């Protein structure tokens, strides 16, 4: 159902404070995503930023959702923050292989970059993004102040994002 004009979702599908009000007392934590997907059409999966899930977890996420459901997963911080997108092709390939059962349910892959990743790293970002197949939806979240200063750095980033048809994610911290 890619023709949905709007997908409504949250930044997570499970929060202990929602147990009574949203899930009900009889819902086990492992059943929360399935119940969430009955109400919402999408979710942001921050969990992948902190650790690559196991294959069984990815398969459970697929089983808990319907084919019209979409996930937005962040790339692991080991790739984006520790390696700053350099020399991490093997890690990216391993991550994508584990996530493969959900590829058709991905609304977007998010590349969240640290504040230290500035205009001097833009060519690294461009090279890194060529590792993705052309049909993969990508969103890029930059945090370096120069990318928000309305100057040449921001203009160069935005122009490249437009040319590549990548989304720019704005995070107001």
Answer yes or no: are the C-beta atoms of 60 and 87 closer than 8 Å.
Answer: no
Per DSSP, the three-state class of 112 is strand
Contacts of 100 (CB under 8 A, 6+ apart): 58
The confidence band for 4, taking pLDDT boundaries of 50, 70 and 90, is: low
Handedness of CA 143, 148, 153, 155 (dihedral sign): positive
Q: Report pLDDT for 22.
A: 82
Q: Report pLDDT for 1.
A: 45
For the stretch 25-36, pLDDT in tens is: 888 888 889 999
Q: How far apart are the first and last CA of the chain?
A: 33
DSSP letter at 53 equals P
Question: What are the phi and psi torsion angles at 73 (to 5°)?
Answer: -110, 145
d(CA 76, CA 73): 9
């Amino acid at each position: 159902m890619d023709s949905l004009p709007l997908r409504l979702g949250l930044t997570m599908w499970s929060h202990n404070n929602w147990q009574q009000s949203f899930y009900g007392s009889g819902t086990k934590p492992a059943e929360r995503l399935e119940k969430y997907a009955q109400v919402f059409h999408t979710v942001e999966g921050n969990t992948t930023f902190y650790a690559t899930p196991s294959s069984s977890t990815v398969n459970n996420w697929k089983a808990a959702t319907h084919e019209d459901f979409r996930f937005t997963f962040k790339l692991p911080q080991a790739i984006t923050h520790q390696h700053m997108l350099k020399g991490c092709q093997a890690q990216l390939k391993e991550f994508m292989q584990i996530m493969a059962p959900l590829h058709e349910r991905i609304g977007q892959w998010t590349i969240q970059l640290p504040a230290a990743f500035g205009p001097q790293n833009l060519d690294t970002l461009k090279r890194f993004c060529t590792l993705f197949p052309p049909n993969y939806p990508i969103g890029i979240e930059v945090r370096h102040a120069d990318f928000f200063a309305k100057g040449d750095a921001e203009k160069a980033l935005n122009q490249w994002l437009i040319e590549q048809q990548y989304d720019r994610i704005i995070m107001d911290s």
